[in-house]
Structure 1
């Protein structure tokens, strides 16, 4: 508990931000190369010069400070800093290249690194911008922390705490470093599978690359202003749906695909996930008020529910004309989200299962003697009280942020259903919009969505810790308390 009463080591945080800046240089190099391939020399200069500047700053910080072993609190702070800093660094060349106002470029960059997909960009931004957004989503999906862990940081306590702050207790291999490298391999493989599926469905090479990067990261940025509605037929929406599902399933399950496939289909979270998709598609189909054929209705319903619950955010229909009931179904699906250990956002299916177990346990105990012990279990794992407290805290904060953000939208004249829809989309990092998100929206609302997207990707607690004075400044009352104890 002593660790909680002391501020973070500023130099340790700065040291590993230096590591991160060096790693992020390579993230900026890819759009630089893409700009050269696409024949846009000016954009290549903008991205290339930004990459050089970031590398120099990162190297100076790294060399100026000694090595430190990170505490858990410092790892959490670094994870909280990585995403807004990544968005800022990406927004600089993006604004220079397109001429967009910096706030709009930062909005796009936050939407990219948080894998949300909400957009305020104009329609004629050019191919370099479109690729850079999708690339940003792909990097944000697996997390820049994975790059840092896999390449720059040595095995040990620091690597373990950095990993746990970003990915929790999810492990595939015995060590953190081997686990992150396996996760990276899985991510690359499913991206290639997505690319092949999109090419086979008839999509162009450029569009296939951009959509594959956005699909497996469950990001949702498209190369067309109309989104997936711009493509004819059912092959492309089907390929998009499969790709999004690949990104929303826990990466822990993939290594078992060839060795123990039965373990995948016995996974409780995956079974609930598929059940939510089936039920949601049926309910959503009943709420649609359109004269479609049965096949079109089923296809649109299934596509939209998959893109809501996987938090990918692609769409084949105009969401602004949906009924209130249809919007409510999509909102509910966005809240649920994908699997723990995937690129999907939302509350996550495993937390929903745990919440249902807690409710069941409370109701069950009403009929049992008070001294009866009724442990809560998910498969073979007994849930500790700390996990329940964390869940209740998360749900309370999630609901509070949702209510406050929606109220701010309503103050600016947006109706209640659209307000809740847009905020839910940002907070669950989905990217679906009922029409309220646009370049013309007030700056205050853009800032609200930016904050919500960061909350959704970083999962609230680390971002709150970032703004707590005690995180950075030594408190006198804590010192007195430590002396007494």
Structure 2
């Protein structure tokens, strides 16, 4: 561990694989270019074309000139962390040249790349290309651009495995990272297409269905309408709820090489996810029943709890007017999030299960002889001390990040509950808002939320590695 911390990264190694990712990012710009042409937004077409050529040139020559090397785990963490900023910077550059303030454009881009969905821009001012780009970038960020690069440009080997591991999390189903990424992207695309069809049949037009589908499966939450999902039919809302749960489910459940994919009900994470939704929906309902009819309370409680738990961030109500108990319920949902291996954020169900089981073991050991050894298991797999420590550290870092960030909002005059709601929404990459996140939000608070979203998507620790001085500079003897 000490060697891991003090050894600096090899710049050429990171630059080599960053070049490969830039080639993929350049290719992906063809999608918004096509949309800008279809909707005759030719000024954006020109900006995208120039930027795409620039990105591709850097990526192509970097890939050709730099030697092939394997990344170590620290370099893989740095690359996976840095790429969210690169993706955000590309999107923000286009939008800045299109006339938006740079900070607002960068905030929107990071919100998209990290699948958060918070916005400081009036949605009615955005063009069709911009609306599409927000959803498309969320879709790319959902399964990770790094994973896409592995499946297209990186050959099999240690680097592919390490990048796959740091991008997806605990995934143990595939004989090779290359094969796994291709299968996961195929499943991701099929589920998205199915969601798009469901939305289209529920009354959305093709553009709305496509954008909402990408934002749903990625658990991103950027909607094309100011009212979010309140603008759509009840059939669309029910369909969205189903696909948000799918987005919060471990993607390995849809992996054909996974022998348990047909037994989703036996997966601990999925069962706990459903239990959390049920319990927190009831608490949300208890708050809402004070302000509306019981039918409306059930309707709103179900959708908003699923939206918060899956960290999607779609809304059918104004959270600024929500009762305190409902806000508190949503905060717990957003903090917990979805399954490891899904597109959802939060601390993750897997870590919550570890924490609860650890507490249980500590309690029962009080009443047992010291000689009795109790193992902590998840899905009948015994966890190592390192697994348990990693889960506890991750939860602790999440809580610490939230508490530090909240102090800035309370200091700016916002009440504690709304401040906590907003920061948890950003750090959990959710996107629900009590109205604090708006065009009027002060610049320093936008920057706080910007870093909360970035750190939340990376689950904090990789970001700490990114900013750790010895990651970049060798210690002088």
TM-score class normalised by the smaller sequence: over 0.9
Contact conserved, 2:15 with 2:62, CA < 8 A, in 1? yes
CA distance in 2, matches of 1:73, 1:459: 15
Instruction: Give the direction of change, closer, same or farther, for the CA distance of 1:414–1:292 in structure 2 (3 Å limit).
Output: closer
5 Å-filtered alignment, 1:399-418, equals 399-418=399-418
Q: Does 1:443 align with 2:443?
A: yes
Q: Does 1:247 align with 2:247?
A: yes
TM-score by length of 2: 0.97
5 Å-filtered alignment, 1:28-67, equals 28-67=29-68
CA distance in 1, matches of 2:227, 2:288: 20
Where do 5+ consecutive residues of structure 1 fail to align?
A: 478-485
Instruction: Give the direction of change, closer, same or farther, for the CA distance of 1:262–1:63 in structure 2 (3 Å limit).
Output: closer
5 Å-filtered alignment, 1:92-171, equals 92-97=93-98, 99-122=99-122, 123-171=124-172
CA distance in 2, matches of 1:5, 1:124: 48
Contact conserved, 1:247 with 1:342, CA < 8 A, in 2? yes
Q: Give 3-state SS (helix, strand or coil) of 1:220's partner.
A: coil
Contact conserved, 1:28 with 1:90, CA < 8 A, in 2? no
5 Å-filtered alignment, 1:75-474, equals 75-97=76-98, 99-122=99-122, 123-231=124-232, 233-255=233-255, 262-289=262-289, 292-474=292-474
CA distance in 2, matches of 1:157, 1:242: 37
Instruction: Give the direction of change, closer, same or farther, for the CA distance of 1:256–1:22 in structure 2 (3 Å limit).
Output: closer
Contact conserved, 2:422 with 2:437, CA < 8 A, in 1? yes
RMSD of aligned alpha carbons: 1.6
Comparing 363-372 and 461-470, the one that deviates more: 363-372
CA distance in 2, matches of 1:351, 1:267: 14
CA distance in 2, matches of 1:294, 1:323: 15
Comparing 275-284 and 113-122, the one that deviates more: 275-284
Instruction: Give the direction of change, closer, same or farther, for the CA distance of 1:374–1:260 in structure 2 (3 Å limit).
Output: closer
Contact conserved, 1:336 with 1:346, CA < 8 A, in 2? yes
Where do 5+ consecutive residues of structure 2 fail to align?
A: none
CA distance in 1, matches of 2:323, 2:46: 47
CA distance in 2, matches of 1:473, 1:129: 39
Q: Where has structure 1 moved over 3 Å in runs of 4 or more?
A: 1-4, 255-262, 289-294
Instruction: Give the direction of change, closer, same or farther, for the CA distance of 1:165–1:261 in structure 2 (3 Å limit).
Output: closer
Q: What residue is the counterpart of 2:17 in the other structure?
A: 16
For these two proteins, the number of residue pairs brought into alignment is 475
Instruction: Give the direction of change, closer, same or farther, for the CA distance of 1:256–1:199 in structure 2 (3 Å limit).
Output: same
CA distance in 2, matches of 1:221, 1:437: 14
Q: What residue is the counterpart of 1:483 in the other structure?
A: none
